Amino acid sequence: MRGQLSLHIRPIEDGDRDAVVSLWSACNLVVPWNDPESDIALCRSKPANAVLLVGVLGGRIVASVMVGHDGHRGWLYYLACDPQHRGRGFGGAMVAAAEDWLAAQGMPKVHLLVRETNTAVQGFYERLGYARSPVTMMQKWLKTSS
């Protein structure tokens, strides 16, 4: 569109952490059992297996997606788009950038988890070609709160 700034997608940089955590909070992605700063640090400590991409518009971070792989399949986490900028295709652009990163890593498939309570985002992912999987997700905490 004429006169519209374009979204610049790049890996997170050292000075971006606070802006990313603020974005995740604005998008209701922060929950008590996931410390966002620890998640960012862990992602950045494994550059061969994970990257946190940010979408910058006019010098401000307005979107993000954390993407990683386990050597077998890829995973998307923390897809976020500033509520003031939704409906402009930024979420889809972030997913496409994450998928491109995974494809470059040789991953044949990508997975993501959507909380049952987050029904609004399910249609978004379906429009991008994602489908529900007939699986049961199980978990076990290896680290307990102190």
Domains of the chain: 8-127 (3.40.630.30)
Token pair 């994970």 in the structure block, residue: 50
pLDDT tens digit string along 31-88? 888 899 999 999 999 999 999 999 999 999 999 999 999 999 999 999 999 999 988 9
Structure token pair of residue 12: 């997170």
For residue 36, the SS3 value is helix
Asked whether the predicted pLDDT for residue 1 surpasses 70, the reply is no
Q: How far apart are CA 119 and CA 121, in angstroms?
A: 6
Q: How far is CA 78 from the centre of its chain?
A: 3
CB 134 within 8 A of CB 119: no
Phi-psi domain of 67 (left: phi exceeds 0; alpha: psi -120 through 50; beta: other): beta
**Whole-model pTM above 0.85?**
yes
The mean predicted confidence, pLDDT, of the chain is 91
Structure token pair of residue 127: 């429009």
